[in-house]
Structure 1
Amino acid sequence: MKGKLFIVGTGPGAPPIRTFRMVEAIKQSDVIVAYTTYAKLIGDLVDGKEVITARMKEELYRAKVAIQKVQEGKVVSLISSGDPQVYGMASPALEMMCKNNLDLDFEIVPGVTAALAAAAKLGSPLAMDFASISLSDLLVPAEEILHRVKKAAEGDFVIVLYNPINKPLLERAMAIISEYRKPETPVGIVKSAYREDEQVIITNLSDWKRHEGIINMITTMIVGNSRTYTCNGKMITPRGYDRRYNFELNNDS
């Protein structure tokens, strides 16, 4: 029997925001390989399946086990939160297959990444060009990360910060952004998007540190560009319609 690997994005974790294909792939699988927390988030889908869990920082172990199970002829779902392409399991799994000269049957199943989930809770901060940057320096040197932050700030991109768990690195990144943005620039902080303990905060560059205590590995931050503003408690980044068109409603009967 020929095995198959699904590299699955579960989105934020809440069932209402799962994709149909994600649920279908897991149901078709014999084996589920996941970080322990992610396995719990899909617990309602895995009855009767072999579930292999691992701790954080064991991404290569998860990829290796998943590939070995596929070689045994099993259908396997290798789980990522959000989207597997965005700081997820797609890259290590494909790299491992490439470096071992393996041509396995696989499918990458996209999911709602944290940037989009957080943005939806904040309003419309990603309506124009944006950059996403991971602040995890476990695999990438801090100075390289900060170089990317600087370039994104210089380019006036809306900036999405993933994995803001290293507080000194986060503070350095926000200090760099503050060199290029006004103090009143909106900053969105979303923790546990679409989960029971969700927290959504809109603050600004001059005041964001007041909320630093809630920021952890399941927090996503979005820093607006020079045109981002807040209205009715939501962040809005204009697409540019206001430069060419009139937004006034026609009240004529």
Structure 2
Amino acid sequence: MTSTTNVPRTALVTGAARGIGAAVARQLARDGLAVGVLDLDEADCAGTVRAIRDGGGSATAVGADVADEAAVTAAVARVAAELGPPTVLVNNAGVGPRAELVEMTTDQWDAVLGVNLRGPFLVTRAVAPYMIEAGWGRIVTMSSISAAGDAARVDYASAKAGLLGFTKSLALQLGRHGITANAIAPGFVVSDMTRTSARRLGLDFEEFKRSAAQSIPVGRVGQPEDIAHTASYLVSPGAGFVSGQVIYVAGGPVA
């Protein structure tokens, strides 16, 4: 198996323009990785890339719809050309609009599963050959505690549950190549998604967070950096015997 000292240290993080993805990208850059910062609009990635470069790191912005096969293929090839073959992948891009089942259209269902489930498949498929060639790789995919069921978002919950089977299957299939695959399932984390939820409920976001914190054993809501620190460990050389796992980062046990 390839020595980790000879492995290209390039990561690709999807949905990295803001929130959890941006925090993960910045953390991996601090860990010494060059980072491909991918989001739907390349211009939106500028802030994350600037923060990485200001800290002395290396990063490039890439725009692509993760549900678009041709766009994903081109984006991964560009990252490989500009930063080096990616051997670390964090599948973070996701959407989660709320819709009642009886009101949900097939287009809405397809759009949510396209980003949340098809996207990780397309990006992982495009990156995996670089990992196989290197004989080393780390894949981290963002699921959610919603994978256990979400009354407000059956499409989102279905996609996030699918990612658990996807992750475990990757671990079984790719382990012989020195590649690990794990999933992170965040609980309540400060993000655009939770801010949107508060607005839909007509609640002040600070009050929304305080209310959520009351049911979390550690007494606070999560921050994007909480997820970034977990991703940092899972993609490290030291996590080579951790694969096919779901790590709940939710401030307490999840039923």
Q: TM-score range by the shorter chain?
A: 0.3 to 0.5
> Relative to total residues, which structure has the larger helix share, 1 or 2?
2
> Relative to total residues, which structure has the larger strand share, 1 or 2?
1
Structure with max Cα Rg: 1
TM-score normalised by length of structure 1: 0.35
